Each structure stands twice: as C-alpha cells, then as structure tokens.
A and B are shown apart, each in its own frame.
Chain A
Amino acid sequence: MSDTYLPAGMPAPAAHIDGLSQPYWDGTREGKLRIQKCRGCQSWQWGPEWICHRCHSFDLAWEEIEGKGIIYSYQRPHHPVHSALNGFGPYVAVLVELPEYGIRMVGNLLGDRLQSVPIGAAVEAVFEHHNDATPPFTLVHWKLT
C-alpha cells in the first residue's frame, strides 16, 4: 500500500523554467507554505507572477502563511486520464480558499476517496514528502479539521 494519496507514477512538480515558483517548492520541502507578498502594497498574491497585479511593483517577497482554509469547490474524477491512475478509482481534488490571504489553492482531500465533500468545511494543509523521487519534492494536500 502506497503512503501517498495518489499512486506512484503521477507527474512530479517542477518549478517554472524561469525560476518563478522555485521559492514555493523549496518551502514545501521544509514543511512551510510560502506565497508572494508585495513589498510595495503589502498585498498577498497567488499563483506566482513576476509583478504585483495591484501596484505593479516587482519587489515581491515570499512569506510563510498558515495552511488553513475552507473548501470552496471540489471534484471526484473517476475516469483515469493518466496511465498511473489506471485501475486506481475515484479520488478527490479540492479548491481551498484561504480567506485571510484572499487566495485559493488546489490539492487532494486526504481520507476516504469516496467521502462526501462539504463545501465550506474547514481544512488544513498536510505536507506529503516524496523523498525518494529524483529530485525529491513535496506536495501539499488538505484534510478536514
């Protein structure tokens, strides 16, 4: 039995080729959730971009945030679109809103893959380390609190 939510062989994440998202992926390796915060106008920004869409400052910091949010939407895919999912069965992906930062994140909802998924329920981030991968990486999932 695998200790990851989805089976081995799923595509691994890599940073943007120009390095844009590297600080996020470095953060997950340390068990930290880091997103962009504009030093110009102090706004949070996610997903990553080279400029602040509000004040157009290029001075964007990466700051740790608290991995707590609420389920904004979800899906339970059944049809395997990737060979690693053949025969695996349905799984749950969630869109989590982090109201404090005004952003959303996508991940899997840990637990029974057939569980009912309540929109509006509180969740917290869980780090899933893939230490044996080359190079190693860490995914961020969510669980009901």
Chain B
Amino acid sequence: MTDRTLRGKTAIAGIGETIYYKHGQSPDSEFKLALQAIVKACDDAGISPHEVDGFASYGDDRSDGPRLAAALGIKELKFSNMFWGGGGGGVCGAVGNASAAVATGMADCVIAFRSLAQGQYRRYGRSGAAAAVAGDDAFLFPYGVMSPAQRFAMKITRFMHDHGIKQEALRGIALACYHHAQKNPNAVMRGRELDEAKYDSSRWIIEPFHHLYDCCQENDGSAAVVVVPAERAKDMKNKPAYVMACGQGGDHRSAAPVHNMPNYPSSHFGKLAPRLYAMAKMAPSDMGIVQCYENFTGGVLMSLVEHGLVKPEEANEFLVKDNLIVEGGKMPLNTSGGNLAECYMHGLELVIESVRQIRGTAINQVANNDAAIIMGGPMVTPVSSLILGSEATL
C-alpha cells in the first residue's frame, strides 16, 4: 500500500525575513521586500537563489511566481502555486503545497513566501471608498460590516456566549504575545509593553471582545522559507525542521454566503485538526511549540480549542499570561510576538519562529522544542495548519 503522506518527506532548510515595519514605513516596494526575504532564506539555507525552482504563496500575493523567477534568474520554473482565499488562511497551506511539490518530485527546491506592504497598497483595516458594493458584500457593507474584524466578530461573540468565556481569556493571549515581542529586535511592538491595566483601558474596536490589543497590526514586510527533500536537508547548513503534516480546507459549507455556514461559532479547524495529527502521528500533548495566527484573539481561542490544545470549559482558567509565556508557562504561545506584536506577516513569521525553535536558536527559546504546531488564519475559509518536527520526531 502506498503511504499517501507528507510526513517526514520534506524539510524547511532556510528562513528569511525582511525588517518588519509599521504599515507605510517600508522604504522598499512590496516586490523588492519579497526578493529580499527570498535571498535571505536562500542564504540561510546555504544555497544560491538560482537553485530555486518553485514558488508557493497565498492571500492573493501580488509578487507573482513567474516575475520572481525572472527577477532571480531561476533556471527552470517547475512549480508556481497560489492558495485560494484571502487573509492568512493559506499560510500553512503554502508551506504544505511547496512540500507536496517537493515530496512528489514535481520540483526540488520551493520557496513558500508572503510579501505585504499595506502602506503601498490598501490597508486591511480600512474599507474601500466604492459608492456601491455588489454580490455577497452587498448584504454586509451597507450595515457597517466591512473590515475583517467586523466580518468575524459575531463568530467570536457567539462562541464566547456558548461557552461562557470571558474577556480576560483573550487578554491573556494578547499579554503573552506582547511579552514575547519585548526581547525580539525585529518585533514592531518591541518597547511597547502591555499590561492588564493598559489592555483593559484600551479603546473598543468592536464591543464585545475586541479591544485595540485584541486586533493584529497592519505592517509592511516579507518572509520566506526554503522547502527541500528531507534527505537533502540533512546535509545542509542548518538543522532541518521536517514537515510532519499539513492540513488545509474548511468544514461543511464554511464559505456559505452571508454568515450561513452551518458551524458558525468556529475557527473552521474542527475537521482539519484530526487529519493533521493523524498524518503527523502525533497528539496535541506532543506540541512543545505552539504558534497561532492572531487576526483577533478570539480566533486564537477558537483555534486552540479546535486543535485540542485547550478545552473550552478550561479556557477562563488556563488562558492567563503565566501559562502562555516561555518563562515557566505550561504552553508558551507565539514566542516571537506573532501577528499582534512582532509583525502581521500574514502568519509566515510564526512558521519561521517555529523553525528557529526547532533549531534551538529562538530568542525566547522553549525547552521542549521537538515539535511545533502552527495554525493559520482562523475563521476564514480555507484555513490551514502545519506540524513541524526535529529529527527526533521522524
């Protein structure tokens, strides 16, 4: 029987990030940022960009693969791939797609990347200026349901209502992310410490459950990883982070129009997570490194629950800063600061941080660093998650 799996067949051999900026502050264009991150990732892997033969991205990235291939002088482009869906739902899926291409022999060295200059282009947190909106948006925009926060807020309201989860659980998530950013020199929010009082008194973006600090930043930057066959990665410059599993998708009609998905109060990982763990042959309790995409802290909460990392009935008690920080916490979360406090690099910064953790080179290094779970883009459809592991997990 053919073993249809990604488990252990590929590895991330190189990581690259640009300087991360507040939106509008990058001196470089979005495409140049993409090139910078890719060149850095290749350098980290110890290879020339000429060895790259594929690109995978997501979120309708504007830096398209063929242009990158021409700009970098790629000898032969073998894989050019875009993950459907807006937002960061495709972050882990892009790494998974790159891995699938490498594992099946379609390509040999694929870059998964994201480039995003919200200053140069449109900010996610502002609505466009169109006088009329057509299609599904026509049922939302005229009622002031426009921004990503507004599109997802009612999922969070209902989840919190169903399970009796309080604002303080979301505060714990925000405090941990900001805490980890303080030691990270590339974190945009370094030097901007957050405590309970500052969180509690911050303005409402959306009531209930969305204080200012529950919402991600808007940034400029780029990030990239190099995916190669596992056997090749063993002999490369850095310790490999093996791709143990990737899952992507959505549950039954999770993209149903006008908020009519049957499972509404959800991050839409419920069906995906069991597939992910089964492919990795691992359990939630094996995940020493936990990275979850924060568009909004409520999305993190639902993702942790749907990946079996936190029980909803224990969320109020468990989701406190002390449990979520690297210094003695039971489940250190977003150890580089994540989308909230490092950079909203559409979650790819979480993949890169996981690789650093597995290598043992993270700034906020966890002790149990053999396996990492990364959860991408909660509440959008499709979403995706990834499990990476050290050689010990193979």
Contacts and interface: CB of A to CB of B under 8 A. Distances in A.
A76 to B, nearest CB: 4
A50 to B, nearest CB: 12
Interface in B215-247: none
Contacts of B161: 73, 119
A11 B135 contact: no
Nearest to A82: B127
Residue of A72, A85, A105 ringed by the most chain B CB atoms within 10 A: A72
A83 B129 contact: yes
Contacts of A83: 129
A108 B143 contact: yes
Residue of A13, A74, A85, A103 ringed by the most chain B CB atoms within 10 A: A13
B70 interface: no
Interface in A57-96: 72-79, 81-83, 85, 90-91, 93, 95
Residue of B161, B207, B208 ringed by the most chain A CB atoms within 10 A: B207
Contact of A108 (B144, B150, B205): B144
Interface in A97-123: 103-108, 119
Interface stretch (B107-115, B151-159, B310-318, B369-377): B151-159
* Interface size band for B: 35 or more
A16 B141 CA distance: 14
A54 to B, nearest CB: 11
B154 A21 contact: no
* Interface size band for A: 35 or more
A83 B154 CA distance: 23
Contacts of A16: 134-136, 138
B206 interface: yes
B157 A73 contact: yes
A138 to B, nearest CB: 10
B330 interface: no
B205 A21 contact: no
B204 interface: yes
B394 interface: no
Nearest to B210: A75
Contact of B132 (A11, A72, A81, A107): A11
Given A47-B256, A48-B257, A93-B150, A15 B144 contact: no
Interface string B139-168: 111111111011001110110010000000
A139 B142 contact: yes
Residue of B127, B131, B142 ringed by the most chain A CB atoms within 10 A: B142
Interface of A: 6, 10-17, 20-21, 25, 46-49, 53, 72-79, 81-83, 85, 90-91, 93, 95, 103-108, 119, 139, 141
Interface of B: 125-127, 129-147, 149-150, 153-155, 157-158, 161, 203-208, 253, 256-260, 264-265
Given A13-B134, A73-B161, A106-B258, 11 more contacts: A10-B142, A12-B131, A21-B139, A47-B260, A72-B158, A75-B154, A78-B206, A79-B206, A82-B146, A83-B129, A119-B161
The 8 closest A-B pairs by CB, nearest first: A47-B257, A13-B138, A47-B258, A73-B154, A75-B153, A73-B158, A76-B207, A14-B134
28 contacts: A10-B144, A12-B132, A12-B142, A13-B133, A13-B139, A21-B138, A47-B139, A48-B257, A73-B158, A74-B154, A77-B144, A77-B206, A78-B203, A78-B205, A78-B206, A78-B207, A81-B126, A82-B126, A82-B127, A83-B129, A90-B204, A95-B154, A104-B259, A106-B145, A107-B143, A119-B158, A119-B161, A141-B143
